[in-house]
């Protein structure tokens, strides 16, 4: 059900009827986690006062046409008709909300956190209140392991740690994908904005953030706001492709229902209409998406914004409701204790739409300046389309044009300095225009990133100016480029990122080593298709040194790399940060035997 012509950008308003497709209790496809999402779909919208010492929570709902009234229960109290709840700093718990039609239909919303409940972060002034520092990206690390690792991260001097998308995402233990069970890229297929992802529950996430903040470590999220799941990755019980290949439903990390319209040859039992794009736990319905079209041009702004990136359901970010809902999600990230976030696939959202979303985000945080320690960095991969995206003046330019759009939307100069662009032209092609199109202080730089690891990845060209560890399998080469990240003097970059990932298996298995991509965990009748198994490996190891993917010169499969524990990289980072070189390994949280490991790999 793609676009009917080249000018159509969204689905007709009448397609809102193609929602509330979730089966109700008594239906053979019903699951307890669905509750009454076939009738009521809501989310809590938190708006803070200017000083952020109080907040109003407004419950916003969409209801099926037969539902005539809605009532609300806050923290187990009796149901009331008021859809708002007011809290201040004396409220030291999370807020639980249940919504009902006054009868049998009920839905439990995601818990609401308030930013004043997160522990205060105590860091040296050299971090400039979160505006200058190095951030470790722990790719594939469960929250419980990140929490354990934060003591070392603090001692080493890293400003923060970034985790990957915390939102609810696609999972499937029954349907291997190209031989893999739960491939890593499933985490970028969003089911809802509930913070119940593969790496842990909302409670585990909150506990990790609180532990890290108390240790003096900031935590950053990866926010996926451009799209939802891929077409055909949904809860429908049966799909069929043109070649007669068939498959069943996917599940999710949080138990929510979700539906697409692709590969369906029958109507919905609930609406008696053709299937529609629907994510009830958000909630989104078909009118909140761009109509389906291929993203087949990287230099056409219309296609970049409206196309479905690798077949992922593309959100209509020009629509006010979608902007509101995204801004509310970003506020939830701050409320639970994140200090900021990366915005995935930002170049597929009009700069004017991103500016409008950031303004709504700012307003929901009280309308004053963005938090002092806040930063966001946008994934805007710039290659052959550099003229469009950065160098030439146009409405799809993420340089000066985007600054102007943010300023026009109501962001201050201080706010704009906190909005960084991830510098894909580093380390080979910077500055991509031959001059600094925006101040280097507004760029975030990195050697290898998680996308670079993928076989055939062309996300950027580093040539011989950088190194992708798990492709090159050369520890000394990679270490040298990570050290160089902190010793370069060409520009005053303020945010620097270091990827700490895991090695893939020699047969191509690339799922996280958290046990969820182990073929032995496959269930159902298609497990014979699972040929690329990733064994379990514990992420946290108090006795680990850097580069545990190489032992006595031998490359190890399916293990965490722990690049952030390398003493040379740590000391280079500390010098750049203004902390000074450590006098001992224990001072930076490493065991003494790491000195011997370093000698063996030098």
Q: How far apart are CA 10 and CA 105, in angstroms?
A: 31
Distance CA 565, CA 370 (A): 32
> How far is residue 360's CA from residue 342's CA, in Å, rounded to a whole number?
17
The distance in angstroms from the start CA to the end CA of the chain is 57
Picking from 229, 264, 220, the residue whose alpha carbon sits closest to that of residue 250 is 229
Residue 344 falls in the annotated catalytic set: yes
From CA 519, how far away is CA 517, in angstroms rounded?
6
Q: Of the residues 113, 147, 292, 379, which is catalytic?
A: 379
Q: How far apart are CA 104 and CA 427, in angstroms?
A: 59
Q: At what angle do helices 567-577 and 475-487 cross, to 10 degrees?
A: 10
Which residue is catalytic, options 110, 344, 403, 482?
344
- Give DSSP secondary structure letters for 433-497: TSS-SS-GGGEEEESS-GGGGSTT--S---GGG---HHHH--HHHHHHHHHHHHH--SS---EEE
**What is the DSSP track for 290-350?**
BPB-B---SS-HHHHHHSBGGGEEEB-TTSHHHHHHHHHHHHHHHHHT--EEEETTGGGS-
Locate all alpha helices (DSSP H) within 345-412, ordered by sequence.
Answer: 351-364, 386, 400-409
- The two tokens of residue 588 are 């930076």
Distance CA 318, CA 254 (A): 28
* CA gap 121, 340 in Å, rounded: 14
Question: Structure tokens of 277?
Answer: 């794009």
Tell me the Ramachandran region of residue 553: left when phi exceeds 0, alpha when psi lies from -120 to 50, beta otherwise.
left
Active site residues: 344, 379
């Amino acid at each position: 059900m793609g676009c009917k012509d080249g000018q159509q950008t969204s689905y007709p308003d009448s397609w809102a009827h193609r929602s509330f497709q979730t089966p109700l209790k008594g239906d053979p496809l019903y699951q307890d986690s669905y509750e009454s999402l076939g009738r009521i779909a809501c989310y809590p919208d938190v708006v803070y006062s200017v000083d952020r010492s109080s907040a109003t929570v407004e419950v916003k709902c969409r209801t099926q046409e037969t539902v005539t009234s809605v009532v609300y229960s806050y923290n187990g109290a009796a149901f009331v008709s008021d859809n708002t709840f007011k809290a201040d700093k004396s409220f030291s718990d999370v807020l639980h909300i249940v919504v009902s039609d006054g009868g049998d239909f009920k839905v439990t919303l995601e818990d609401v956190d308030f930013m004043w409940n997160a522990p205060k972060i105590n860091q040296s002034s050299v971090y400039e209140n979160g505006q200058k520092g190095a951030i470790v990206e722990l790719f594939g690390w469960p929250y419980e392991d990140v929490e354990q690792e934060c003591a070392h991260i603090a001692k080493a001097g890293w400003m923060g740690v970034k985790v990957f998308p915390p939102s609810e995402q696609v999972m499937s233990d029954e349907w291997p994908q190209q031989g893999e069970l739960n491939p890593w890229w499933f985490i970028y297929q969003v089911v809802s904005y509930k913070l119940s992802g593969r790496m842990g529950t909302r409670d585990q996430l909150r506990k990790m953030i609180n532990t890290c903040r108390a240790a003096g470590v900031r935590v950053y999220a990866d926010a996926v706001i451009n799209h939802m799941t891929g077409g055909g990755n949904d809860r429908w019980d049966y799909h069929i492709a043109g070649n007669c290949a068939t498959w069943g439903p996917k599940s999710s990390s949080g138990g929510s229902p979700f539906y697409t319209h692709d590969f369906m040859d029958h109507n919905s039992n609930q609406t008696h209409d053709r299937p529609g794009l629907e994510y009830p736990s958000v909630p989104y319905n078909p009118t909140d998406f761009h109509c389906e079209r291929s993203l087949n041009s990287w230099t056409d702004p219309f296609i970049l914004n409206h196309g479905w990136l690798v077949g992922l359901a593309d959100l209509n970010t020009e629509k006010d409701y979608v902007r509101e809902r995204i801004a509310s999600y970003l506020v939830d990230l701050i409320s639970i204790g994140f200090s900021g976030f990366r915005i995935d696939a930002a170049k597929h959202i009009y700069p004017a739409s991103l500016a409008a979303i950031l303004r709504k985000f700012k307003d929901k945080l009280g309308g004053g300046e963005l938090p002092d320690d806040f930063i966001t960095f946008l994934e805007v991969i710039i290659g052959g389309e550099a003229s469009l995206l950065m160098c030439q003046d146009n409405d799809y330019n993420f340089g000066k044009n985007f600054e102007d759009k943010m300023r026009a939307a109501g962001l201050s100069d201080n706010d704009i300095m906190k909005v960084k662009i991830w510098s894909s032209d580093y380390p080979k092609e910077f500055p991509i225009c031959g001059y600094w199109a925006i101040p280097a202080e507004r760029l975030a730089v990195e050697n290898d990133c998680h996308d670079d690891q993928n076989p055939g990845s062309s996300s950027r060209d580093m040539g011989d100016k950088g190194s992708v560890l798990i492709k090159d399998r050369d520890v000394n080469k990679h270490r040298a480029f990570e050290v160089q990240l902190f010793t370069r003097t060409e520009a005053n970059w303020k945010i620097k990122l270091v990827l700490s990932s895991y090695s893939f298996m020699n047969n191509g298995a690339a799922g996280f080593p958290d046990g969820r991509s182990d073929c032995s965990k496959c269930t159902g009748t298609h497990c014979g298709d699972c040929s690329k198994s990733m064994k379990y490996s514990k992420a946290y190891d108090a006795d680990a040194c850097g580069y545990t993917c190489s032992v006595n010169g031998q490359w190890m499969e399916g293990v965490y790399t722990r690049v952030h524990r390398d003493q040379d990289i740590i000391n280079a980072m500390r010098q750049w940060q203004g902390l000074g070189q450590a006098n001992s390994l224990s001072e930076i949280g490493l065991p003494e035997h790491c000195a011997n490991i370093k000698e063996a790999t030098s």
